[in-house]
Amino acid sequence: MIKVPFYKPSLDHLEIDEVVATLKGGWLTTGMKTKQFEKDFGIYVQQQHSVALNSCTAALHLALEALHIKEGDGVLVPTMTFAATAEVVRYLGANPILVDCRESDFNLDVADAERRLKAALDRGQKVRAIMPVHYAGQVGDVDGIRRLAQQYDLKVIEDAAHCCPAFYRDSTSTAQDWNPEVPTDSARLIADGWKPVGTSADISCFSFYANKCITTGEGGMACTGNAEWADRMRIMSLHGISRDAWKRFMAEGNWYYEIIAPGYKYNLTDVASAIGVHQLRKSDAFHTRRSQIAGMYRQRLGSVAELTLPTVQPSRVHSWHLYVVRLDLDRLNVNRTDFLAELTKLGLGTSVHYTPLHMHPYYRETYGYQHSDLPCMERVYREIFTLPLFPGLTDDEVEWICETVKTLVAKHLKKS
């Protein structure tokens, strides 16, 4: 029996009452509640245009389509990510070019990206975009990605599914250091010169899946400073029907509509947005608690030599969506699979994020990848596991998690 689950959403009467009010109001699909959520989210992440969608996968897909990624184009994608980041490239007939990641934070390695980009160009392939993922909630090498994109005329679509909030200081910033022991205040961080994740991208995409930093159950958002791209994504999110199609059933609407492109069915409902508007208002408080839990893990597990804990990279405010730990298997007489199975028997819910894409059958069979082709993440993958991290975790539960992990590590120490 699981004593502490891997994740549990943080919901209370505010979300419940808003959903009930929406149900009673009779307008369930995309409407004014969703428009409110879009506006509020855009303000929160400092983006001019926000398009609410039914998943981050939909956001990534529409971002690529709006940027005119076509069949045969190459798109640079980190191998250490969830399926969605690369599969949306295939939706358009384009080709994901998988890139190794940095051992320090599992984010896209810009130097490896340039090597693979040059190799693709030498083969005569046209490379059009790069899709960095801010792994676990830690913002990647934004400056390096921007330089690479400018040098090779690439569009940048940031997969910020793990981020809300997350911030960075670029090379020109004079922002003061962030103190993780002080309650999070996004507005203050922005006023002090910190930049919200995604503001340097052409389009940035966020997730509100059940286990994300804020949730709508299922949902996502595509954000951009370009009105033309935002309009295109909005149109394509609802069957390619001309703008504001959702208003045609309201008093100021009209029954007439025109289909201007073969679109998709990606719109977010007002029922989901009713959850989102309150989750967004709690985002800073959620982040404060996530940061506290991450600090507790570091304090209680930092002395365990057989574990490598995540660290915050310089000039970053980490979202702490995931807390990913590495096992030093050379010091232990157990493999990762059996170690996690034992944790499950003890009542601790864990997970693994992720099996690198190049190790999955589809990418091996379609593109000929071997496990050793992206060696850093192939090696790291065999060592990682993810501990629970969500705002509802109590101090006592964190203490129990740490003691359980330490006890199991001690049990499996190799004899000297």
Non-local (6+) Cβ contacts of 249 within 8 A are none
CA dist., res. 308 & res. 131, Å (int): 27
HSE of 14, CA atoms in CB hemisphere, 13 A: 11
Answer for the pair 239, 263: CB distance below 8 angstroms, yes or no.
yes
Residue 96 dihedral angles phi and psi, to the nearest 5°: -70, 130
Provide the 8-state DSSP code for 176: P
Per residue in 132-142, is it b (16+ CB within 10 Å) or e — as a string? bbbbbbbbbbb
Residue 211 dihedral angles phi and psi, to the nearest 5°: -105, 15
Q: Which residue type is seen at 45? A: V
3-class secondary-structure state, position 34? helix
33, 155, 195, 212: which is the annotated catalytic residue? 212
Helix H, strand E, coil C: the string for 295-330 is: HHHHHHHCCCCCEECCCCCCCEECCCCCEEEEECHH
Q: Assess whether 195 carries a catalytic annotation.
A: no
Q: Which pair of tokens denotes residue 391?
A: 């705002």
CA dist., res. 110 & res. 133, Å (int): 12
HSE of 67, CA atoms in CB hemisphere, 13 A: 28
CA dist., res. 196 & res. 199, Å (int): 6
Task: Please choose, from the candidates 298, 324, 312, 326, the residue with its C-alpha nearest in 3D space to the C-alpha of residue 402.
Answer: 298
CA dist., res. 351 & res. 6, Å (int): 7
CA dist., res. 133 & res. 162, Å (int): 8
Q: Which residue type is seen at 21? A: A
| Rg of the chain taking only CA atoms, in angstroms | 22
Non-local (6+) Cβ contacts of 19 within 8 A are 271, 274, 275
Answer for the pair 352, 340: CB distance below 8 angstroms, yes or no.
yes
Q: Which pair of tokens denotes residue 189?
A: 């961080």
Catalytic residues: 212
